[in-house]
């Protein structure tokens, strides 16, 4: 008989006696322990290295993401491809505990500007149906992005431009793509 | 048996770190204590405000310089420990509380020079603002005869603005 067979053998029990621990750990405590351990490990690996759970704080991504909503950042999203325009991404500060959740609107090599609330990419107006536009948003200069630079911005542009964290980030600070 | 050895080894390591903390551990502890001293509740009494402001100022050098954005994007410059203490008292008496936390702290100690540079993400909840105030801070600390003190604080923009 294999070891596994011995593990699953049901221990003798006193007839009619209620065993309070049975619903918690099952008939085979060792197997339950191993399953629990595997589950914990899988959760640790998934939520630490693959899909980072984040809670949205603030209003800068409304109406797409409401304050308090929980989301996941897929760290594997850009392993085989580069970030694309329209992707909502997590951007690190000094680590991954706190991230900016922003939308990519300009890609490496493109020229970005904002004119009366309209995003201009290489001189062409960008259609952004997901935004709340504020006509006061205007940049004094155009900015041509370097080979690893992206412009990220929130969808809610109803506040003053200085009150909104937006601008150029390096590719290395983009952690991954929002799942939902 | 192996588990017991591992637990004993880990326990010994922890005790060693508590008894003989390195510079980096001391700086991290100082920053934790600083964030706790900077936090206050709206229900605190005026005497508590004074005491907490004094405690907070104790983490800084006499000629400390702080350059940081306020929660509404305005640039602020504070020079000297005395100014900092006054601002702390007035901020506490405004009525709303503040919870300050430092996350993802990076510390680079300049060995043998009694100096270190830190970079961290500050998150502040309160001060009547509905959303947290998050900012990257670059902090220079120096070693004095009273331990590590903050000598310079500068806000670093999380993203490079296009104006």
For residue B131, CA distances in Å to A56, A59, A69, B160 come to: 10, 8, 14, 21
> Please, are residues A70 and A54 in contact by the beta-carbon 8 Å criterion?
yes
Domain span at residue B49 reads 23-156
B2 or B11: whose pLDDT is higher? B11
Tell me the average pLDDT across B20-45: 89
Residue B43's CATH number = 3.10.450.50
Closest to B141 measured CA to CA, from B22, B59, B33: B59
Q: Is residue B10 part of a domain?
A: no
What pLDDT sits at residue A74? 95
Residue B24 confidence (pLDDT) above 70 = yes
| Residue keyed to tokens 């959303």 | B131
What are the sequence ranges of the domains in chain A?
3-49, 56-178
What pLDDT sits at residue A24? 78
HSE at residue A42, side-chain half, CA atoms within 13 A, is 6
Report pTM.
0.78
Give CA–CA dist B148/A119, Å, rounded.
47
Could you tell me the pLDDT band of residue B132, with boundaries at 50, 70 and 90? Answer: confident
The answer regarding whether domain A56-178 maps to CATH 2.10.109.10 reads: yes
Give CA–CA dist B149/B20, Å, rounded.
19
Q: Is residue B17 part of a domain?
A: no
Residue B45 confidence (pLDDT) above 90 = no
Average the pLDDT over each of A120-134, B13-27, B123-137 and give the range with the smallest value: B123-137
Residue B153 confidence (pLDDT) above 90 = yes
Mean pLDDT by 10 residues, chain A (180 residues): 46 63 81 93 94 89 89 94 95 90 96 92 91 83 94 89 87 94
What pLDDT sits at residue B111? 84
What pLDDT sits at residue A67? 87
Number of domains chain B contains: 1
Residues of B in contact with A166 (CB under 8 A): 159, 161-162
For chain A, the residues whose C-beta falls within 8 A of a C-beta of chain B are: 57-59, 67, 91, 93-98, 100, 112-114, 139-141, 143, 151-152, 160, 162-163, 165-169
Q: Do B103 and A94 touch (CB under 8 A)?
A: yes
Q: Is residue B12 part of a domain?
A: no
Q: Do A163 and B72 touch (CB under 8 A)?
A: yes
Q: Is residue B94 part of a domain?
A: yes
Is residue A63 helix, strand or coil? coil
Is residue A121 helix, strand or coil? strand
Q: Is residue B7 part of a domain?
A: no
Average the pLDDT over each of A65-79, A165-179, B60-74, B102-116 and give the range with the smallest value: B60-74
Q: Which secondary-structure segment (H or E) carries A116?
A: none
CA A81 to chain centre: 17
Q: Do B132 and A168 touch (CB under 8 A)?
A: no
Residue B7 confidence (pLDDT) above 70 = yes
Q: Is residue B9 part of a domain?
A: no
Could you tell me the pLDDT band of residue B119, with boundaries at 50, 70 and 90? Answer: very high
A144 or B22: whose pLDDT is higher? A144
Residues of A in contact with B132 (CB under 8 A): 57-58
Closest to B123 measured CA to CA, from B131, B114, B111: B131
What pLDDT sits at residue A1? 39
Residues of A in contact with B159 (CB under 8 A): 91, 100, 152, 165-169
């Amino acid at each position: 008989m294999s070891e596994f067979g011995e593990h699953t053998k049901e221990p003798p029990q006193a007839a009619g006696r209620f065993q309070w621990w049975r619903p918690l750990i099952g008939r085979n405590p060792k197997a339950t322990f191993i399953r629990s351990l595997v589950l914990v490990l899988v959760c640790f690996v998934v939520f630490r290295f693959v899909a980072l759970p984040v809670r949205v704080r603030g209003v800068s991504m409304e109406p797409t993401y409401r304050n308090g909503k929980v989301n996941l950042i897929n760290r594997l999203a850009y392993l085989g491809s580069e970030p694309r325009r329209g992707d909502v991404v997590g951007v690190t500060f000094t680590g991954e505990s706190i991230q900016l959740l922003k939308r990519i609107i300009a890609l490496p090599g493109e020229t970005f500007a904002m004119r009366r609330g309209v995003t201009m990419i290489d001189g062409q107006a960008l259609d952004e149906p997901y935004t709340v536009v504020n006509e006061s948003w205007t940049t004094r200069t155009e900015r041509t992005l370097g080979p690893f630079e992206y412009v990220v911005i929130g969808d809610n542009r109803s506040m003053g431009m200085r009150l909104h964290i937006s601008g150029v980030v390096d590719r290395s600070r983009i952690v991954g793509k929002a799942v939902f | 048996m192996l588990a017991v050895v591992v637990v004993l080894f880990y326990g010994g390591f922890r005790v060693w770190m508590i008894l003989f903390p390195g510079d980096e551990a001391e700086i991290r502890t100082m920053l934790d204590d600083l964030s706790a001293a900077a936090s206050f509740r709206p229900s605190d009494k005026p005497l508590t405000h004074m005491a907490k402001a004094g405690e907070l100022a104790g983490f800084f050098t006499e000629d400390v310089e702080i350059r940081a954005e306020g929660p509404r994007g305005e640039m602020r410059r504070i020079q000297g420990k005395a100014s900092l203490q006054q601002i702390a008292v007035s901020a506490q008496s405004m009525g709303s509380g503040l919870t300050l936390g430092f996350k993802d702290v990076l510390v680079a100690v300049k060995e043998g020079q009694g100096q270190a540079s830190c970079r961290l993400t500050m998150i502040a909840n309160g001060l009547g603002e509905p959303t947290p105030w998050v900012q990257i801070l670059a902090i220079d600390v120096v070693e004095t005869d009273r331990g590590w003190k903050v000598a310079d604080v500068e806000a670093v923009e999380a993203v490079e603005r296009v104006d």
